[in-house]
Structure 1
Amino acid sequence: MWTEWILRHRRLIMLGWLVLAVIGGALAPRTIDRLSYEFSFPGQPAYEANQRIERTFGGGGGVDPLVVTVTLPEGRAVTDPAIREELGTALGALNQPGWRVASVLDVADPAPFVSADGRTTFALVYPPYTPGPGPYAAALPRIEEALARTSVGGAPLLVTGVDPLNESGGGSDRPIIVEIALGAGGALIVLALAFGSLLAFVPLLMAAVAITTTFLLLLGLTAGVDVSFIVQYLVGLIGLGVAIDYALLIVMRWREERANGAENEQAVRTAMATAGRAVVFSGVTVAISLLALVVLPLPFLRSIGLGGLLIPLVSVLVAMTLLPALLASAGPRLEWPRRRPPATESRAWLAIGRSVLRHRWVAIVLATAALVVLALPVFGLRLGSPEIAAIAGGDSPAAVGYRNLVDAGISPGVLRPVQVLTTDGAAEVARVDGVLAVVTPTGPGWTAGDERLLPVLLDADPATPAGAATVERIRAVAPGEVGGTAAQDADSVKAIYGDSWWVLALVVLVTFALLARALRSVWLPIKALLLNVVSIAAAYGLTVLIWQRGYGSEALFGTEASGSITVWVPIAAFSFLFGLSMDYEVFILSRIREGHDDGLSTDDATVHGIGYTGRLVTSAALILVLAFVALSTVPVVDVKIFASTLALGIALDATIVRGVLTPALVAAFGRVNWWWPARRLP
């Protein structure tokens, strides 16, 4: 009924999607401009402290300071009266209304602000900030311009800090279309090899329509909720992969039916009844997996879940309406210039399937062992922000300023001070192991009534284990509220993962019920879920090795080890990998089930299922991996970690899991696969 209705109204459907795509594409820049860059954790102590600091003192709670540095030439020292006078003149330009400055000039104990050789010093600067990709986008040019006109002891003053180091990568200035173009270029190469005709452009067209339409829906969503800036990457690149995957499955089945002699419209009907059904279940599975993000009580993660939820659903809708209309109208003409009818089964994958089944138990043991070994590093997973060294690459002034500080022996922890809001002193905090100093600035803006805001400098980056332990000790003894990004990191772990187990359990149960109904089997969905867990754990393990421990991060990304994995990455990666990898499982098992229902033995159905779907899954996975590789070129370390986790997960899933473990386990369990507690109807 559905396909017949689509075929009768094909022109109207194609016109409707064209209108939506054009409007969505035209309004996409407006959608991107309305995205949020805030990571909020309502109800958590550090977040609430940061909110109060921002309300009371005009900023600086959830945003780290700018750090002005200077390294004097040999023979000069910060303690020289002439140098202090020049420094006072330079920093005096920053004493503007609403700005807070803490430097060697306005503290009782200058020692923490001066390197051991006396040549390097720094100042903490808290100008007002604005929400957006660069909180100091307005203030930073003014500071750099003011400091460019002066020097201290003949040496320039450089501005560094977490925000300038992030900005030096150029991530906020690069539009999402760059990553989409990179991913689309790689996808087109794969599709051209798979089709050898103009059909290669059809899945890309479906992806373009799905992406632009989803951006249009996001624009409506931003009217009611804050939507995280990360969503634009998910829609653009996960949408590219998912929409192409769904179109690829249907188009390949349509070609197969035509190669077997079916006329065009009948081939469309059969493709929709078989591959189309698998696409619907796959899309719903991806959407369900994202419920883990939607139901968490964190606005930015909820928005990632909502945005991510839209793209698979829109992609399914495009594949189930626009694609059959296009194939029925122009499909055969798009086969140009291919002259030979396409093969229905892949000889290579038939050979792989037979080989795996001949050695099924060896394949199961070796593949499982490989995944377990890859997953072992996950037991050393640390959650937090990347270490500052990981974002301090390159030769930008911010990176040079950071390296000058570190090379002079000053701790990178000064770039991320803990902030204590108190009415008392902080003598207890000063005695905490790992605290470099409690700064008590005398300049304007550091007091409000009876309350004082005291920056606490750490002798280690708070993203390191030592620094994180110091933050916890400070929170235990501080006589007041404790804020700053380092304290908020600790709270974010609890906020995201404290009660998430029941959400994940709910997603697993709902997915099991859906797959059991789709495959009419109890064991097949259990197997699929277990394999998903193992493959995702292996992806996490590789991510820990590459990013947290630094094995290959320099060679692959030009970045030092992050020391920890960004707090939100594991939960977000789980949600997307769980759904995306289940796509391939549904594609393969649906075809195996179809063969078994047609009377083939379990072994024969498995071999032919792999023969039909192996090339499809390989092509689809390669397209997704290329999309995530494109995403990893975004010069933001958090996004790089997320993208590489997704790419590793898809690569492992499409090779070791779906290419080896899935057929081996189906064959090994034989008749158990098809057990279904059918009930006799009256």
Structure 2
Amino acid sequence: MDRLSHFVLARVSCVVYAAGALLLLGGVALALLLPRVSEANEYPDLDAHRANERIERLVGTGGYERPLVPVVSLPDDVSLSDVHDEVAGAFGLGADVAAGRLAGFDTDGIRTADGTNLFVGDDGRTVYGLIYPPRTSVGGLPGSAIGEGPQVQEHMSEVMRAELPPGSEVAITGLDAIATGADAGGLNVPVKLVVTVGMALVVMAWIFRSSLAFVPLLMAVLAVPISFLGLLVASPFMTVHETTIIMLPLFGVGIAIDYAIIVVSRWREEQLKGNEPADAVHRAMSTAGGAVAFSATAVALGLLTMVVLPIPLLRSLGVGAMLVTAASALVTLTLLPIVLRRYGHRMIRRSGGDNYRAAQERATATWARFSGWVVRRRWLVAAGSGGALLALCGVATQLNLNLPASDDMATSGPGRVGLTTLADAGVPSGVLSSFDLFVPESADVAAVSRDLASLPGIRGVVAPGTSDWTGAGGSVLTVVPTDEAGVAAGRSTVERVIDTVPEGVLVGGNATQQMEYLSATYSVFPWMMALVAVVTFLVLARAFRSVLLPIKAI
């Protein structure tokens, strides 16, 4: 690293021009990348993903999409048989509003274990349906974007109510209808960046107490566009997901600032010792520069191991994070020495000279006392920090990455009213997790329906065989469970369906894809972690020239 700093400082103009060129090319690269990024939740190795893709191509609705569930409550003095046509027409109009596929009380091909109509409540006056809308393009992981689809519930209620007898009530429920809020991805990217940069500046101002606080941020500003350039080069060989474009600047700010702080802090120590600006740069680079290089190598290679994951989105994130790590190290090791050599001592002088030196010496003494206290009480500190880590691990084990259950969602609003109405009529909440199956032409739809309807945890099966449920190559069948996929019983039901269907029949649905995504990711995760450990060990063994220290670090 000492040779690198001499090389860089001897060729200041070349390095600055190269950095400027890379910055401009990075902006061009981003403009070229944006039209090519993918928003799709693609999981090509998962059976549920293949099922949902087949269903979408076959009928254009359902599959990955969660159903909307209109609930109609007739007046006490009105029976369903007397207003059959009006109720059926109302559900049909509701499906038209959502441009969706309807499964309702008058749909053909309803099969239940006890022969009852699964879409009518125990009171005979509560009727519900399942409306599967067309695919909505939303980013993120499976199970995310709850409530992000088109908000048609209010209009659907108005249209259906106008068709029903006076005194009838309509409420549209479903997982999206009882979402606690539309999942639009949280704060937008500019706001996230402003918050991140602002917090970083506060921390760096406290650390450096001078305009040096802006130097690490400058490195981040340069590193992010350069990483976009690398991503453009990699894009012909991989799917670049929009999540990578969103997250890459946030990664870059954190990583580039971290690396720059390491070098700037070491350079500042050399300056306070009275070394000349150039000598201070060389001394800082000979130690901190090496730390940055080895750290970046270990981190970048570790992130690159995410390519073993079977999910294109996660692979894209891994490659993007690896590129921004490499770009951050490149900028820190080449451009930062020039900035410190040319302007660093001026920043210190403008901050008060001797007063600044005295403040930094006091801060150094404070940290020295703290480190001494830790060493003297190492067992107590180890027990405290270890206990905190174990507590955090315990919290992490409670994370639920499956679809949410209705009990954990909105407790008021029209969606909750509809769900409560269903419960009062004896209809289980599992209807919210109804899911589609793709049945090829070679399979016997009636036999598949009969077998599934007899399974525990299944309220009923719908296989109309009409034009909006069939197409060239097969048909769609809907399974209505009694338990939601957000609870263990509901997921067990999905697994029983997967185990029961004959070869060629593919089980789709939002919940099924989420379950298979988690299974595929976690099954590969131990191998990925083992690969990270091996790569990290090799890099650190080279850096420390030791076997024991890398093992301790890992």
**Which has the larger displacement, 192-201 or 337-346?**
337-346
Residue aligning to 1:113: 119
Residue 487 (1) aligns with residue 505 (2): no
Q: 2:419 aligns with which of 405, 423, 426?
A: 405
In 2 relative to 1, CA 101–33 (structure 1 residues): closer, same or farther, beyond 3 Å? farther
Residue 85 (1) aligns with residue 86 (2): yes
Report the TM-score when normalising by structure 2.
Answer: 0.82
Residue aligning to 1:417: 434
Look up the equivalent residue of 2:379 and give its one-letter code: W
Report the TM-score when normalising by structure 1.
Answer: 0.68
Q: 1:127 aligns with which of 122, 125, 133?
A: 133
Residue aligning to 1:51: 53
Give the Cα separation in 1 of the matches to 2:138 and 2:388. Answer: 43
Residue 101 (1) aligns with residue 114 (2): no
**Which has the larger displacement, 136-145 or 8-17?**
136-145
Q: 2:549 aligns with which of 494, 499, 524?
A: 524
Instruction: Describe how 1:640-659 pairs up with structure 2 within 5 A.
Output: none
Write out per-residue CA displacement over residues 327-378 of structure 1, whole angstroms, 9 at most, x where no aligned residue: 2222223333344225256333322222222233343344434434543566
Look up the equivalent residue of 1:492 and give its one-letter code: Y
**Deviation, structure 1 residue 160:** 5.4
Does structure 1 retain, via aligned residues, the 8 Å contact 2:180–2:410?
no
In 2 relative to 1, CA 38–385 (structure 1 residues): closer, same or farther, beyond 3 Å? farther
Give the Cα separation in 2 of the matches to 1:404 and 1:102. Answer: 17
**Deviation, structure 1 residue 294:** 1.4
Q: 2:500 aligns with which of 477, 481, 494?
A: 477
Give the Cα separation in 2 of the matches to 1:177 and 1:390. Answer: 34
Instruction: Describe how 1:33-52 pairs up with structure 2 within 5 A.
Output: 34-52=36-54
Write out per-residue CA displacement over residues 58-117 of structure 1, whole angstroms, 9 at most, x where no aligned residue: 3432x1234042454874778374486156146336349984221234254784334555
Runs of 4+ more than 6 Å apart: 134-139, 141-144, 164-167
Give the Cα separation in 1 of the matches to 2:8 and 2:417. Answer: 62
Instruction: Describe how 1:172-183 pairs up with structure 2 within 5 A.
Output: 175-183=188-196
Q: 2:530 aligns with which of 478, 489, 505?
A: 505
Residue aligning to 2:65: 64
Q: 1:208 aligns with which of 202, 221, 242?
A: 221
Does structure 1 retain, via aligned residues, the 8 Å contact 2:71–2:172?
no
Look up the equivalent residue of 2:57 and give its one-letter code: R
In 2 relative to 1, CA 263–163 (structure 1 residues): closer, same or farther, beyond 3 Å? farther
Give the Cα separation in 1 of the matches to 2:58 and 2:72. Answer: 34
Q: 2:372 aligns with which of 354, 372, 380?
A: 354
| Structure 1 gap segments, 5+ residues each | 530-682
Give the Cα separation in 2 of the matches to 1:27 and 1:394. Answer: 46
Residue aligning to 2:202: 189
**Deviation, structure 1 residue 382:** 7.2
Does structure 2 retain, via aligned residues, the 8 Å contact 1:59–1:126?
yes
Give the Cα separation in 2 of the matches to 1:127 and 1:376. Answer: 39
Does structure 2 retain, via aligned residues, the 8 Å contact 1:58–1:98?
no
Look up the equivalent residue of 1:128 and give its one-letter code: P
**Deviation, structure 1 residue 515:** 0.9
Give the Cα separation in 1 of the matches to 2:54 and 2:376. Answer: 66
**Deviation, structure 1 residue 464:** 1.4
**Deviation, structure 1 residue 391:** 8.0
Look up the equivalent residue of 2:360 and give its one-letter code: A
**Higher Cα radius of gyration:** 2
**Deviation, structure 1 residue 254:** 1.2
Residue aligning to 1:452: 475
Give the Cα separation in 1 of the matches to 2:171 and 2:29. Answer: 39
Give the Cα separation in 2 of the matches to 1:22 and 1:78. Answer: 71
**Which has the larger displacement, 446-455 or 282-291?**
446-455
- Aligned to 1:521, the other structure's residue is in SS state coil
Q: 1:313 aligns with which of 315, 326, 330?
A: 326
In 2 relative to 1, CA 210–166 (structure 1 residues): closer, same or farther, beyond 3 Å? farther
Q: 1 or 2 for the larger relative contact order (CA 8 Å, sep ≥6)?
A: 2
**Deviation, structure 1 residue 243:** 0.9
Look up the equivalent residue of 1:207 and give its one-letter code: A
Look up the equivalent residue of 1:504 and give its one-letter code: M
Write out per-residue CA displacement over residues 378-432 of structure 1, whole angstroms, 9 at most, x where no aligned residue: 6x6676423144884497xxx6425532564154433332323333321221122
**Deviation, structure 1 residue 54:** 2.5
Give the Cα separation in 1 of the matches to 2:76 and 2:20. Answer: 70
**Deviation, structure 1 residue 29:** 6.5
Residue aligning to 1:337: 351
Give the Cα separation in 1 of the matches to 2:17 and 2:147. Answer: 42
